[in-house]
């Protein structure tokens, strides 16, 4: 339930719910206009964009040390947003425009509230429908050097398990930062588990890209991907010291969203 899969495309639920909420808000604004309460529809898209910009800006400001360039700061593929800042900005925007435009004082709060209710209800439903995530399983995987590693032996410390493959473009983009983080003291152990590929292919890819092997584990049978019902790669599991999964991140990570997840494990 972390994302929707449509064939080869994996879509996170959050942006889909925002689009649905916006559509409902526009519909309610149209109904309000027909009832003679003013047409607030022109304000809805700027409000949504403004809220997203504020949510991103606040997240980036909080994690500025983890972004190496302005381009990285505006690259939203890592889905780094501060939701509380976004909701606050949306509420402030509704109040401002309702004050500036008396004709919108009924229709704008009504339509914006309807859209927000759809988003929040959708998020709540996804939380309730989310199946229980099993703890870190008692599987034994192999390193590129042929050494066997029992996943159960990794318990006792916060753990980040990244499921990836060499054919996956976002996996390839995030792999260098994960390898670097695995070699540093990040507050959690980072384990890279290749899904579904043979040892020679993985080893050749790392050698060709001049990437250091931080202890990559091989899962040729896609057992972890299947166990956690992931719709696609990359998938990152943030696991507490007792082996329970706190969060699953579908899609590409940045240094900032990686550190955000690790910080949450320590709370």
pLDDT tens, residue by residue, 164-216? 999 999 999 999 999 999 988 778 999 999 999 999 999 999 999 999 999 99
Its domain, for residue 72, covers 3-129
The reply to whether 215 falls in a domain is: yes
Last residue in a domain, options 110, 129, 148: 129
Task: Give the CA count within 13 Å in the CB-facing half-sphere of 170.
Answer: 19
Q: What does the alpha-carbon distance between residue 170 and residue 188 come to, in Å, rounded to a whole number?
A: 22
The verdict on 91 and 50 lying in the same domain is yes
The verdict on 145 and 95 lying in the same domain is no
The verdict on 235 and 191 lying in the same domain is yes
Last residue in a domain, options 129, 162, 197: 129
**Token pair in block for residue 151:** 């996943």
Could you give the number of structural domains in the chain? Answer: 2
Residue 1, pLDDT above cutoff 70: no
The tens digit of pLDDT for each residue in 57-105 reads 999 999 999 998 999 999 998 999 999 999 999 999 999 999 999 999 9
The reply to whether 251 falls in a domain is: yes
pTM, whole model, 2 decimals?
0.88
The reply to whether 216 falls in a domain is: yes
């Amino acid at each position: 339930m972390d994302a929707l899969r449509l064939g080869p495309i994996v879509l996170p639920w959050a942006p889909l719910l925002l689009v649905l909420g916006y559509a409902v808000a526009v519909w309610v604004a149209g109904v309000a206009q027909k009832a003679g309460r003013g047409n607030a529809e022109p304000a809805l898209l700027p409000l949504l964009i403004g809220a997203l910009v504020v949510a991103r800006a606040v997240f980036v400001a909080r994690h500025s040390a983890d972004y190496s360039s302005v381009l990285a700061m505006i690259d939203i593929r890592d889905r780094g947003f501060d939701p509380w800042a976004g909701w606050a900005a949306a509420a402030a925007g509704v109040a401002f425009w309702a004050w500036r435009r008396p004709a919108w004082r009924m229709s704008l709060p009504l339509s914006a509230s309807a859209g927000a209710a759809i988003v929040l209800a959708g998020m709540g439903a996804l939380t309730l429908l989310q199946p229980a995530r099993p703890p870190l399983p008692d599987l034994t995987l192999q390193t590129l050097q042929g050494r066997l590693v029992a996943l159960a032996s990794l318990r006792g410390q916060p753990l980040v398990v990244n499921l990836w493959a060499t054919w996956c473009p976002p996996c390839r983009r995030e792999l260098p930062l994960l390898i670097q983080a695995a070699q540093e003291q990040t507050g959690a152990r980072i384990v890279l588990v290749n899904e579904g590929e043979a040892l020679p292919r993985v080893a050749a890819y790392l050698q060709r890209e001049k990437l250091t092997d931080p202890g990559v584990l091989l899962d040729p049978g896609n057992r972890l991907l299947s166990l956690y019902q992931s719709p696609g790669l990359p998938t990152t599991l943030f696991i507490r010291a007792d082996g329970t999964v706190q969060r699953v991140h579908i899609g590409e990570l940045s240094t900032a969203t990686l550190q955000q997840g690790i910080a949450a494990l320590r709370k």
